[in-house]
Structure 1
Amino acid sequence: MDQNTSANFSTTNTANNDTTLQFTWSFVPAMEAVIFPCVLIFNGSILALFLVTRRFQIPFNIYLINVITSNIVFALLDNPLDILNFISSYWWLGNTWCTVYLYAINVSSGIVMQSHMLITINRIWAVTFPHSYRRHHSVRNAAVLVIAVWLLVHVVSLPGLIMDATLYRLPIEITGCIINTNEMPVWSIMLQLIIFALPNLCIILAYPYLVSMRLRQRKVRAANRSPATTKFGGSVHFKANRYYHREASASASVTVTNNKAPERSQRRDNRAFAIFTALTVSITACWTPLDTYYTISCFMDLSTYVKTLEFCEILFVLQPALDPIFFAVIIPDVRSQILQWFRYRWASK
C-alpha cells in the first residue's frame, strides 16, 4: 500500500542510465512472496466456506465476506507487481501495468481499509441503537453498505488516477511507477485522509466507546434479570404441592424456549465484538504505522526515512493473512468445519 505518495518502496528502482534489467532480492519482497500464497489460501478457504454453508449467510457475515474478498482482490492485483517493483532495477512492465499497480495500491488497499471501517460502523450501530439494529439490519442492507463502500473508494480515488495516467504521468523509465502528486496535491491529501487516515483513527478511537457501551448494557441486562429470577425461585421453593410443581416446570420450559432467541442473539453479538477486537488489533499493529508515515509525508519530506518505511511495509504485508486466521479461531462453526476437513483428509490417507 503506497497510497497517494509513491508506488515505489524499493530503494533500487530509481533513475539510472543502465538499461540492463537486474533483480535484487531483499527481506521485504521475499517476505511478501511467502505471504502472498498464504493470503490467497487462507482467505479463499474461509470465503468458500461462507459461500457454500447456508448457516454462515447471516447479515454480519456479509461484512466478513467483504473483508475477505477485498483481501483477495488486493493480493492478486498488488502483490506480484509489488514484488517485481521491489526486486527490479527499474519499472519494465510499461504504462498499462503501472496503472494497474497504482490502482491496486490506492483503490484496492483503500477498499480493505474501508471494509474494516464498515465493521466498526456496524458495531457502533449495534450498541448505540440496538432496537434499530435488530429491526433494520439484514443481508440486503449489509450488501448495500458494502457496495456503497466500494463506490466511495472509487469516487475518491479514480479522478487522481485517471488524471495521472492521461495528463501527469512521469516517465516510468526515469522515475519508476509513481503517482505525480506534485500536480495533484489537494487530491493527494484528500485521498490519504478520507480513505486511509481518518478510518484508521476512527477504528482505534471507537474501541473504548464500544467497550464502555457493552459494559453498560451488561449491567442493564443483569439488573433486569435479577428481580424475575428471585421471585420465581422463591415461589418454587416455598410451594410444595404437586400441581404447582407441574405448572412451575411448564412455566420454566416456556421461559427457556422464549429466551433462546435473545441468548442466540447475545452469542452472536459477543462473537461479532470478538471479531471486531481482533481486527482492531490487526489494523492498529499492521496499518497504523504505514498510515501515519504517509499522512506525515503529505506535509513534510520523509524520503530519507527508508528503514522506517520498510519496517512499516513489513507490518502491512502481514495483515491480509491475519484476518482469516482470526475468523477461523473466533467463529466456532468455522473452526469446527476446518477441523472436520482436516480429520477427513487425515483419515483418507
Structure 2
Amino acid sequence: MEAGFNTTVLRNTTSSAHAQQTYRGWTPILIIQLLLACASVVLNLAMLIVQFLPQTQVTAFTIYLVAIAIGHIVVQLVTKPFSLINYVTGRVPGGQSLCAFYVYFQFVFSMIPVLLHVLIAINRLWAVTYPVSYNQRHNKKTASLLCLGVVAYVHVVPLAVFMLEFFYFGPTDKFTSCQPGAGGIIEWRRADFVLHRVIPLALVIGVYIYVMAKRWTKRRIGGQIEGNRSTDHNSSNKPVAGGHPASTELQSSVVRRRKVKPYIVLTVTSISVLMCWVPSDVYWALVYLYMTPPTWVHTVTSTMYSVQTVFDPLMWLFSMR
C-alpha cells in the first residue's frame, strides 16, 4: 500500500506553486481571504480587550479563550501577508530565511489554536464527568499550564519533522514556492493528518455530544430536587419585619461582572469546528485516498479555516452574560 502512494498527486495538491500557476494578481478569493484576515485580527483583539475590562470576570476558563485569540491573531498577521504576496506576485518574499519563518507559523504554530479547541472540549468533559475534582483542581494556573503544554507539544512533535522536511528536501521551487518538498516524508504527512486534523475534529464533536447528553440527563433527573431547593432558598431569604434595608441597597448597588458561559462556548465552538474543519478534512482525505480534487476546492476549503477565526471571537462575545 505504501509503495503505491502517488507522490505526484500529493505534490500537485499540497504545493502552493501549483495553485499559484492558476492564480495571478488579485482574484475574488484572495480579496475574501484578505477581508477575513482583517476581520479576524480586529474581532480577536476586541475579544481580548473585552476579557480584560473591569466589568468582565476573568476565570480559569477564560485562559483558553485568550490563548486561542492570541494564536489566531499571530497566525493571521504573520502568514496572511506572506501568502498573499506569494499568490499575487508569484514570488517568495524575503528569500529562504523568511520562507522558513513562514513555514513554521503555517505548519506548526497554526496547530496551537486547533489543539486549544480540543482543550476546551476536554475541559467541559472533566467538569461534567468529575465535577468534584474539577472544582478542586481546575484554576487559572492549571489552565495556563495546559495551554503551555499545547505550545510545548507542537514544538516537540510537528516542528522537528516539518523543519527536517523543509530543510532536507527543500521547497518545491525556491523561487515561486514556499512549501516543503511534497511527498518528502509521506508517512509523516499521513500521521499528521490523522493526529492533528481527524482526531481533534472527532474529539471536539464527540465530546460535545457526550457532554450535552450527560448534562441533559442530570437536569432531567435532578430538576425536581433543584426546584425544591430553590423554593426553600427563596422562602428563607424573604425580607422580614425589622430587617436591614441598607443591606438590600448595598446588594443592588454592586455591579455584576460579566463572564463567558463555558457550555455556550462549547456549543458555538463545536458548530464552528463542524462547519469550518470538515470541508478541508474531506478534501485531504480524498487526497490520501489517491484522488485528485480540483485546485479551486483546496482554495475554498482552506479559506474555511479563516472563517472560523472570525466566527470564534464573534460567538464568544455573544456568549458573555
How high is the TM-score relative to the length of structure 1?
Answer: 0.75
Distance 1:41 1:213, change over 3 A: same
Alignment of 1:212-251 (within 5 A): 212-226=213-227
1:168: Cα distance to partner?
1.1
Contact 1:94 1:172 in 2 (8 A): no
Distance 1:96 1:172, change over 3 A: farther
Structure 2: 5+ residue stretches without partners: 1-9, 245-250
Distance 1:125 1:82, change over 3 A: same
1:277 and 2:267 aligned: yes
Distance 1:299 1:175, change over 3 A: farther
- Which position in structure 1 is the counterpart of 2:19? 11
Aligned-residue CA RMSD in angstroms? 3.2
Distance in structure 2 (CA, Å) of the matches to 1:51 and 1:189: 41
1:93: Cα distance to partner?
3.6
1:125: Cα distance to partner?
0.7
Q: Which structure would you say has the larger Rg? A: 1
1:282: Cα distance to partner?
1.0
| Farther off after superposition, 69-78 or 51-60 | 51-60
Distance 1:327 1:289, change over 3 A: same
Name the structure with the higher helix share.
Answer: 1
Distance in structure 2 (CA, Å) of the matches to 1:232 and 1:152: 47
Distance in structure 1 (CA, Å) of the matches to 2:162 and 2:305: 22
- Which position in structure 2 is the counterpart of 1:39? 40
Contact 1:110 1:196 in 2 (8 A): no
Per the alignment, in what secondary structure is the counterpart of residue 183 of structure 1? coil
Structure 1: 5+ residue stretches without partners: 15-21, 237-244, 251-256, 258-263, 333-349
Percent identity between matched residues is: 22
1:232: Cα distance to partner?
9.0
- Which position in structure 1 is the counterpart of 2:26? 25
1:27-46 CA distances to partner (integer Å, 9 max, x unpaired)? Answer: 22111111222211111122
- Which position in structure 1 is the counterpart of 2:169? 168
Distance 1:13 1:229, change over 3 A: closer
Distance in structure 2 (CA, Å) of the matches to 1:141 and 1:54: 24
Distance in structure 1 (CA, Å) of the matches to 2:52 and 2:226: 38
- Which position in structure 1 is the counterpart of 2:300? 311
How high is the TM-score relative to the length of structure 2?
Answer: 0.81
Contact 2:40 2:306 in 1 (8 A): no
Q: Which runs of 4+ in 1 moved over 6 A?
A: 229-233
Distance in structure 1 (CA, Å) of the matches to 2:98 and 2:233: 71
1:92: Cα distance to partner?
4.8
1:144 and 2:133 aligned: no
2:49 aligned partner, one-letter code: A
- Which position in structure 2 is the counterpart of 1:59? 60
1:131 aligned partner, one-letter code: V
Distance 1:108 1:115, change over 3 A: same
